[in-house]
C-alpha cells in the first residue's frame, strides 16, 4: 500500500518535517507504528515546541501590523485612524466567523495524516480550497449589503462613513486570497508543518507594511494606500503558499481527483464539522461584541479603558494559541493513528506548557501592569480609570488559558459538536451573569462575568472530554 511517512530533520537549515512518498508492506507499517509508540515526554515536548514556537513568533507580528497602519493614518487625521480601525474591525468579525476553514481543515487533515490516509489528506485540501473560493465569491457578490450593514452597526455617518467605505470596498478584493490562506495554513498545521505558516505570516505583514508606507508617503494615496497594501500582501502570501504547496507536497496533489472531493461520507463529515465550528465561533464573536457594546453604553471613557485592557487578554492569547495550535496538530495526528497513550501525553504536556506561559503573563501583569497602560495611551484620565481593574488582568491568564488549550484538543479530535455546545451554553450563562454581576458590582461585575465565561468554556469542554471513552478518542472520522 502507499502512505506518507515522516522523517525529522535536525540540521540548522530546517526543523520542519520532510515528507516522502514511499511504498511499504504491512510489516514495515507495523514497525513504523511501533516506533511511534515508544515516544518519550522529551520527544513529545520537542514536537510541541516545534509547532508552538513558530506560531508564537507569527502571532507577535500581527499587532505590529496594526501599529504601523495606525501610525501611518495618524499622519493624516483622526478620521483616517478611525476609518481604518473600524474597517479592519468589520473584516475581523467577518473573517473570524470563517475561522472554521483553518480549524476544521487542521483537525481533519491531522487525523487523516495520523491514520495514514493519504487520499483523505489530499481531498481535505481540495475541499477546503473550493469552500474558501465559494465563500469569497459570495462575499464579493454581496459586498454592498455587507458593507452597509457594518457601517450601520458602527453608527458611521458623513465623512467617517465615506472613508471607511473607501477602505472596505478596496480591501474586499482580498477575500479570495485571505480565505484561501485560511485553508492552506490549516492544512499545513494538519501536516505538522508550522514553519510554512510562520513564513507566510511574516511575509504578508512585511509586504503590507512596506506597500502601505510606499503608497501613503510616496504616492499620496491616503486610506486607499492602506487598503491596497493589504490586498497586495494577501495575494503575495497566497501565491507563495501555493508555491510552497507544489514544492513540498507534489505527491499529495497528484492524488487529487474530482470524485474524491465529492465522496459523500467524507464531504458530509467535512461540512458537519465546519458547520459546528462556524456556530461556535459566531457565539464567541457575540460574546466579545456584547462586551464591547455594554462598555460603549457606559460611556466613552469606560469603552477606552476596556478596549485597552482587552489588549492584555489579546497579548496573552497570542502566546497560549501557539500551544493550542500544537495541540490541534499533534492530538489530531495521534488520534488518527489510534495511539491513545501518546494522545493523552500530548494533552497533558500542552496544558503544562500553556499553564506555565499563562503564569508568566500573570506575573508580568502583576509587576508591570501599570506601566503597560502607558504603551496604549498617554491620556492620564484613561490610565487612572483603568488602574482599579488591573487585578482582573492578573487573573485572566491563569484562569482562561485552559479554554484555549481545550479548544486545540477538541479541534484535533474533530469533536466539533462538543465545542459548539460548550460555547453556546457558556454564552447564555455569561449574558445572565453580566446583568446580575454588573448590577451588583458595576464594572468589576462586567469583568467578573467575562472571566467566568472563559472559565465556563474550559469546564464544559473538560467535562465532555472526561465522558469520552478511549475508543471515542481514537475513532477515525
90-144 residue pLDDT tens: 787 788 778 888 888 898 899 888 888 888 889 999 999 999 999 999 999 998 9
pLDDT for 384 beyond 50? yes
Higher pLDDT, 195 or 298: 195
Question: What pLDDT was estimated at residue 21?
Answer: 32
CA-based end-to-end distance of the chain: 21
Question: What pLDDT was estimated at residue 476?
Answer: 52
Q: Which of 236, 289, 311 is nearest to 70 (CA)?
A: 311
Q: How confident is the model at residue 323 (pLDDT cuts 50, 70, 90)?
A: very high
Question: What pLDDT was estimated at residue 238?
Answer: 95
Crossing angle for the helix pair 223-248 and 175-190, to the nearest 10 degrees:
40
CB 215 within 8 A of CB 225: yes
Question: What pLDDT was estimated at residue 360?
Answer: 96
Question: What pLDDT was estimated at residue 40?
Answer: 65
Q: In the chain, what's the furthest Cα-to-Cα distance?
A: 72
Q: How confident is the model at residue 220 (pLDDT cuts 50, 70, 90)?
A: confident
Considering only 225-239, 250-264, 384-398, 417-431, which range has the smallest mean pLDDT? 250-264
pLDDT for 248 beyond 70? yes
Fill in the DSSP letter of residue 251: H
pLDDT for 27 beyond 60? no
Question: What pLDDT was estimated at residue 236?
Answer: 95
pLDDT for 77 beyond 80? no
Q: What is the DSSP pairing of strand 17-23 with strand 2-8?
A: antiparallel
Considering only 6-20, 257-271, 345-359, 383-397, which range has the smallest mean pLDDT? 6-20
CB 316 within 8 A of CB 60: no
Higher pLDDT, 1 or 340: 340
Give the number of residues written for the chain.
Answer: 477
Q: What is the mean pLDDT of residues 456-460?
A: 96
Cα 281 to chain center, whole Å? 10
Whether the model clears a pTM of 0.75, i.e. scores above it, the answer is: yes
Considering only 112-121, 149-158, 164-173, 183-192, which range has the smallest mean pLDDT? 149-158
Q: How confident is the model at residue 253 (pLDDT cuts 50, 70, 90)?
A: confident
User: For residue 472, what are the contacts with CB-CB under 8 A and spacing of at least 6?
Assistant: none
Q: How confident is the model at residue 175 (pLDDT cuts 50, 70, 90)?
A: very high
Higher pLDDT, 273 or 356: 356
- CA atoms of 4 and 117, how far apart (whole Å): 8
Crossing angle for the helix pair 264-297 and 118-141, to the nearest 10 degrees:
50
HSE (side-chain half, CA atoms, 13 Å) at 103: 31
Q: What is the mean pLDDT of residues 170-177?
A: 92
Q: What is the mean pLDDT of residues 305-316?
A: 83
Burial of 431 (0-12, 13-18, 19+ CB in 10 A): middle
Higher pLDDT, 474 or 458: 458
Q: Which of 332, 273, 347, 277 is nearest to 475 (CA)?
A: 332
Question: What pLDDT was estimated at residue 62?
Answer: 61
CB 99 within 8 A of CB 91: no
pLDDT for 278 beyond 80? yes
CB 116 within 8 A of CB 342: no
- Average model confidence (pLDDT) across the chain: 82
Considering only 230-244, 279-293, 338-352, which range has the smallest mean pLDDT? 279-293
- CA atoms of 79 and 138, how far apart (whole Å): 30
Question: What pLDDT was estimated at residue 422?
Answer: 96
Considering only 112-126, 275-289, 296-310, which range has the smallest mean pLDDT? 296-310
Q: How confident is the model at residue 419 (pLDDT cuts 50, 70, 90)?
A: very high
Amino acid at each position: 500500500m502507499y502512505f506518507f511517512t515522516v522523517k525529522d530533520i535536525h540540521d540548522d537549515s530546517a526543523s520542519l518535517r520532510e515528507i516522502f512518498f514511499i511504498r511499504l508492506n504491512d510489516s514495515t507499517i507495523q514497525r513504523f507504528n511501533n516506533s511511534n509508540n515508544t515516544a518519550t515526554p522529551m520527544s513529545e515536548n520537542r514536537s510541541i515546541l516545534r509547532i508552538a514556537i513558530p506560531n508564537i513568533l507569527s502571532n507577535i507580528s500581527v499587532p505590529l501590523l496594526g501599529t504601523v497602519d495606525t501610525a501611518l493614518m495618524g499622519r493624516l487625521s483622526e478620521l483616517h485612524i478611525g476609518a481604518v480601525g473600524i474597517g479592519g474591525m468589520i473584516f475581523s468579525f467577518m473573517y473570524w466567523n470563517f475561522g472554521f476553514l483553518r480549524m476544521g481543515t487542521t483537525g481533519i487533515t491531522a487525523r487523516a495524516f495520523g491514520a495514514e490516509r493519504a487520499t483523505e489528506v489530499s481531498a481535505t485540501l481540495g475541499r477546503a480550497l473550493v469552500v474558501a473560493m465559494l465563500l469569497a465569491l459570495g462575499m464579493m457578490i454581496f459586498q454592498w449589503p455587507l458593507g452597509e450593514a457594518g457601517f450601520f452597526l458602527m453608527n458611521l455617518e458623513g465623512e467617517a462613513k465615506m472613508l471607511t467605505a473607501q477602505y472596505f470596498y478596496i480591501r474586499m478584493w482580498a477575500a479570495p486570497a485571505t480565505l484561501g490562506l485560511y485553508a492552506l495554513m490549516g492544512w499545513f498545521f494538519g501536516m505538522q508543518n508550522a514553519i510554512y505558516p510562520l513564513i507566510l505570516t511574516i511575509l504578508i505583514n512585511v509586504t503590507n507594511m512596506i506597500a502601505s508606507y510606499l503608497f501613503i508617503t510616496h504616492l499620496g494615496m491616503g486610506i486607499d494606500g492602506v487598503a491596497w497594501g493589504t490586498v497586495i500582501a494577501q495575494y503575495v502570501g497566497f501565491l507563495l503558499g501555493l508555491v510552497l504547496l507544489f514544492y513540498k507536497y507534489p505527491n499529495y496533489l497528484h492524488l487529487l481527483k474530482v470524485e474524491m472531493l465529492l465522496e459523500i461520507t467524507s464531504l458530509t463529515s467535512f461540512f458537519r464539522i465546519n458547520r459546528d465550528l462556524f456556530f461556535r465561533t459566531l457565539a464567541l464573536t457575540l460574546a466579545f461584541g456584547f462586551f464591547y457594546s455594554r462598555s460603549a453604553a457606559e460611556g466613552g471613557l469606560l469603552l477606552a479603558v476596556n478596549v485597552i485592557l482587552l489588549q492584555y487578554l489579546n497579548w496573552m492569547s497570542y502566546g497560549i494559541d501557539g500551544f493550542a495550535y500544537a495541540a490541534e496538530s499533534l492530538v489530531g495526528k495521534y488520534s488518527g493513528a489510534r495511539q491513545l497513550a501518546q494522545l493523552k501525553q500530548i494533552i497533558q504536556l500542552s496544558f503544562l506548557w500553556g499553564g506555565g506561559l499563562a503564569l508568566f503573563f500573570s506575573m508580568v501583569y502583576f509587576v508591570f501592569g501599570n506601566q503597560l497602560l502607558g504603551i496604549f495611551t498617554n491620556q492620564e484620565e484613561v490610565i487612572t480609570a483603568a488602574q482599579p481593574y488591573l487585578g482582573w488582568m492578573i487573573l485572566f491568564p491563569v484562569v482562561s488559558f485552559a479554554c484555549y488549550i481545550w479548544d486545540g484538543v477538541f479541534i484535533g479530535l474533530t469533536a466539533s459538536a462538543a465545542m459548539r455546545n460548550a460555547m453556546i451554553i457558556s454564552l447564555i450563562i455569561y449574558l445572565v451573569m453580566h446583568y446580575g454581576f454588573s448590577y451588583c458590582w458595576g464594572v468589576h461585575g462586567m469583568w467578573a462575568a467575562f472571566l467566568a465565561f472563559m472559565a465556563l468554556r474550559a469546564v464544559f469542554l473538560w467535562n465532555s472530554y472526561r465522558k469520552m471513552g478511549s475508543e471515542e478518542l481514537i475513532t477515525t472520522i
